[in-house]
Structure 1
Amino acid sequence: MRAVAVRKIGDRPELMELPVAHPGPGEILVKLTSASVNPIDLGIAAGLLPMPQVFPLVLGVDGAGRVVEVGEGVSGFSVGDVVHGQFLRAPLGHGTFAEYALVTQAPDNGALRLVPDGMPDEIAAALPTAGMTALGALDAIGLRAGQSMLIVGATGGVGVFAVQLAAARGVEVIATARPEADGWIRGRGAAHTVDHTAGEVAEQVRKTHPGGVDAVLDMTRDPDGFAKNAGLVRDGGVAVSPALIATPQLLASERISVINFMMRDKPNLLAGITAEAAAGRITVPIQRTVALDEVPAVLAHSSAGGARGKTTVRI
């Protein structure tokens, strides 16, 4: 099969021809039709996830396709089922930037579920990790209608889901966005925008919200910026980092709750975000779709900024 992989940690991803791995007990083999790109892909290539690995290490964690084999003990899935999910399993190395991928049916791994009737494969592939992260983070924050929230990284994969989910709950959303994306993110529920390229976000927000905000959801990997943004949160509020960059000093704050967010109960989160999309309560904005052989170049430039939603991969 064709797959995008690295031969060792630190290598550049490249397109390779690799054998198909067949499922063992509790495993499901999916012939993929679509995948999507996430920041975690480069983290895996760099060895940042503390999990066992096999090499060549096939990258990609999100995908959609059809079940072609099931291992002993698998329940709820059969050959021929059209599925999507997060294919994150130990050992790492059987990812979704490939024609086939393995997923393990276990709650401490990724999550897999049937694709709702009528949902396109690329939409199903774009939902899992970003959507699950946004939904889980908002549930952890727990804002009520009428409260306010700053979302930093609002036009990226996680951010655009978070903006829509928060706005649907009646939360006043302040979203970071470049000027050219202002109308785009407002169209998805943001009440206000801040141009993060025009100066410190926290300083700009204080001009329009001098009393601060009730919560901050910050997708960036800038600890100093996160600390400044957390300073906007009113007493008793919440600041969350899905990038896990909150420092021990911030985590110890008694004034606000600070969370380095990690997903729990992935099957229920996947079910929740899939239901939101299937019912039309959120849209899944796809910025572009690329072929499998274009993935190495996409990953090489994925930190350049300017994203508007998700990049999907046609397998």
Structure 2
Amino acid sequence: MKAFVKRSAAPDDIALEEVKIPTISEDELLVQVKAVGVGIHDSYFLPQEIDYPYVIGIEASGIVEEIGSRVTQFKKGERIAFISMMQLKGGTWAEFAAVHKDSLILSIPENMDFTEAAAVLVAGNTVLRALTALHLNSGDSVFIAGASGAIGTFAIQFAKARGWVVAGSASPKNHDYMKSLGADKTVDYRDPNWANEVRKWMPNGVDAAIAIQPGTGTESMHIVKDGGTVITISGDRIEPERGITAAFVPHKADVRNELHDLIEQIASGTYQLVIEEVYPFDQALEALQKTQTRHARGKLVLKME
């Protein structure tokens, strides 16, 4: 099969190669991949011990080709979206992927295509987990740092659905986009006075902040009120101050039911799924480079022939 693989420990040593289709165990599904969600971590979110060449990628959609004897929840021919990561048999940037039955796997609604399905789970899972750490009420305020990408696109919509007042940062070209998703206030992250703008808008500070982009956690502390909360999605380590709770995304939070609802709500039009561009599979490295600039609007997806 064709697959994008990491050929060595060198950071950018990734190429399209022919590799063997993985053989599944009794606890795995073999999935014919139809579309792949592109993420910032795809090229380096890897197990500690791997054999090269190693197929990269963690998110995709496709059709169940085979099932192991202990797989009971899914059947051959079923359309699924899934997250498969840290697996020794490789990831999702391939024509076929071995997926453990305990991975995050959801059936795709009939009125959703593979390209859409491949764009939902990583961003949706991340945001829904982050929101479990924000104990806000309707009318409370939240600032989203880096709000125009795939995670921010969902974060704005989910926050508004909960009745929260939302501010977001991004480059000026994305301000109208954020407002179309429901943002009440937008600021330019490159403007040295952006924090003052937020403070003028919410003089006592916002109730909480979600820091998506690296380096935004500490900056976000400055516009959060005393006793508020900052959640860092990027993993920034920040020093708490003024009684503010600084936390990472609670990765053990189980939001599988919420994700099932989300994929159904996207299919019905309740939430907007934004895919900036769909790339042919052989142009995957171009899509990865675009994602790594952190300037993509919404999600980038690879589509198989």
Equivalent residues of 1:53, 1:90 under 8 A apart: no
Stretches of structure 2 that go unaligned for 5 or more consecutive residues are none
Query: For residue 158 of structure 2, what is the aligned residue in structure 1?
Result: 165
- 1:57 lines up with 2:54 in the alignment: yes
Query: For residue 244 of structure 2, what is the aligned residue in structure 1?
Result: 256
| In structure 1, C-alpha distance between the alignment counterparts of 2:138 and 2:96, rounded to whole Å | 43
Stretches of structure 1 that go unaligned for 5 or more consecutive residues are none
- 1:282 lines up with 2:278 in the alignment: no
| In structure 1, C-alpha distance between the alignment counterparts of 2:162 and 2:189, rounded to whole Å | 25
| In structure 1, C-alpha distance between the alignment counterparts of 2:233 and 2:123, rounded to whole Å | 10
- The verdict on how the C-alpha distance between 1:168 and 1:95 changes in structure 2, with shifts beyond 3 A counting, is same
Between stretches 267-276 and 4-13, larger displacement belongs to: 267-276
Query: For residue 203 of structure 2, what is the aligned residue in structure 1?
Result: 210
Equivalent residues of 2:47, 2:87 under 8 A apart: no
Report the Cα offset of residue 254 of structure 1: 7.0
Query: For residue 307 of structure 1, what is the aligned residue in structure 2?
Result: 296
Secondary structure of the residue aligned to 2:181 is coil
Report the Cα offset of residue 277 of structure 1: 1.7
After TM superposition, list the pairs within 5 Å mapping 1:27-106 onto structure 2.
Answer: 27-44=28-45, 51-91=48-88, 94-106=90-102
Query: For residue 182 of structure 2, what is the aligned residue in structure 1?
Result: 189
Equivalent residues of 2:290, 2:296 under 8 A apart: no
- 1:126 lines up with 2:122 in the alignment: no
Secondary structure of the residue aligned to 2:133 is helix
| In structure 1, C-alpha distance between the alignment counterparts of 2:47 and 2:222, rounded to whole Å | 31
Q: CA RMSD in A?
A: 1.8
TM-score, L = length of structure 2: 0.93
Between stretches 183-192 and 81-90, larger displacement belongs to: 81-90
- The verdict on how the C-alpha distance between 1:61 and 1:23 changes in structure 2, with shifts beyond 3 A counting, is same
Equivalent residues of 2:128, 2:255 under 8 A apart: no
| In structure 2, C-alpha distance between the alignment counterparts of 1:43 and 1:170, rounded to whole Å | 37
After TM superposition, list the pairs within 5 Å mapping 1:149-160 onto structure 2.
Answer: 149-160=142-153
Report the Cα offset of residue 55 of structure 1: 2.2
Equivalent residues of 2:133, 2:250 under 8 A apart: no
Secondary structure of the residue aligned to 2:231 is strand
Secondary structure of the residue aligned to 1:268 is helix
| In structure 1, C-alpha distance between the alignment counterparts of 2:151 and 2:302, rounded to whole Å | 17
Between stretches 123-132 and 256-265, larger displacement belongs to: 256-265
| In structure 2, C-alpha distance between the alignment counterparts of 1:272 and 1:242, rounded to whole Å | 22
Equivalent residues of 1:22, 1:69 under 8 A apart: no
Query: For residue 4 of structure 2, what is the aligned residue in structure 1?
Result: 4
Report the Cα offset of residue 40 of structure 1: 1.6
| In structure 1, C-alpha distance between the alignment counterparts of 2:13 and 2:36, rounded to whole Å | 19
Secondary structure of the residue aligned to 1:41 is coil
Secondary structure of the residue aligned to 1:94 is coil
TM-score, L = length of structure 1: 0.90
| In structure 2, C-alpha distance between the alignment counterparts of 1:191 and 1:28, rounded to whole Å | 44
- 1:19 lines up with 2:15 in the alignment: no
- 1:178 lines up with 2:171 in the alignment: yes
